[in-house]
Copies of this chain bind each other. A is one copy, B any other.
Amino acid sequence: MQLDERKVKILQAIIRNYLETGEPVGSRTISKFTDLNLSSATIRNEMADLEELGYILQPHTSAGRIPSDKGYRLYVDTMMEERTREVEELKEMLLEKEDKMDHLLKQVAKVLAVNTNYATMITAPTYHRNKLKFIQLSRVDRNQLLAVIVVEGNVIKNNIVQVTDELDDETLLKLNILLNTHLNGLSIEEINLGMISALKQQAGSHSSIVAEVIEAVGEAIQADEDLEIYTSGANNIFKYPELADHQKASELITAFEEKRMLTQLVQENLADENSTGIQVYIGDETPIQSMKDCSVVTATYELEEGMRGTIGIIGPKRMDYDKVIGTLRQLQNQLEELYKKK
């Protein structure tokens, strides 16, 4: 059996309707809902075919049909019109030029959640080929040094280093120069043991400080590991009865709290170099077990070559894919534009 145009139209109608109501949709509804001018009986025949083809399924005999994951997949892949929508609120917010990245990201997550009524997440952009840009050692206390490490993309890390021996200003300056001249512009692969021991030797009696600083540098560059993830709108899952039962809700909320679990979503997307940057995971397709009753849409944004972050939306399978993808597209552009302006 083939999937002719009429079947596609009917499938589309079923999905559209189901997205709105969340209830299984019957033949009579489709008969009236579409402009095909077919009786419910005909629709029934077609629906039987569609079920056989695996695009829809019945929760139980004598119930209406709901889309299967395969049905959603077809819908997302081929049937969605590209729409451009205004995301006015977002635009305005971004124009305010929040200068603190984390504030901005929290805001984005929140606005997105409020706008879409789904749960959202966003990660800070991270460099993939992180390079060290600048190191500064300063004395803040008699026996405390502050190491400030700046990597490309102006990601800043602070580290307090305890020192036993006192350092005069001159030595500190020397250490600073030593570290900066040797390490700046290097990526994590380029800082090897040989270089480290050479540096230590040059630092003489202060080699332990150098060691600590280098360790801190390593942590700073390898920032991907504990990638910050901001989430918002977790409570939105209560708006969709199919997700809101205790068991599922609890698991989902847990997944949101344990942000580490969300990294799975992110990693995959960031690795994928060539794509419009938008990924849709329907039901079982998602890598996160507790989200198998959800759909997840992720978008990668790229502020500059190699510096990427991810935005994600988690909602019920009957999510308004059209709107979500549109919104994410907008957002990608906004973020990228914002960055250029700065």
Contacts and interface: CB of A to CB of B under 8 A. Distances in A.
Interface stretch (A22-30, A250-258, A304-312, A314-322): A250-258
A159 B159 CA distance: 16
A134 B160 CA distance: 13
Given A146-B156, A158-B158, A238 B249 contact: yes
A146 B150 contact: yes
Contacts of A159: 99
A136 interface: yes
A154 B141 CA distance: 10
Interface residues of A, number: 30
A138 interface: yes
A138 B244 CA distance: 51
A238 B250 contact: yes
A246 B237 CA distance: 10
A130 to B, nearest CB: 15
Nearest to A119: B257
A3 interface: no
A198 interface: no
Given A238-B246, A249-B249, A156 B154 contact: no
A64 B233 CA distance: 39
A299 to B, nearest CB: 22
A160 B99 contact: yes
B144 A154 contact: yes
A113 to B, nearest CB: 9
Given A136-B136, A148-B146, A232-B257, A158 B160 contact: no
Interface string A129-166: 00001101010110010101010001010111000000
B158 A146 contact: no
B249 A234 contact: no
B148 A136 contact: yes
11 contacts: A134-B138, A136-B136, A136-B138, A138-B148, A231-B257, A234-B253, A235-B250, A235-B253, A235-B254, A238-B253, A249-B249
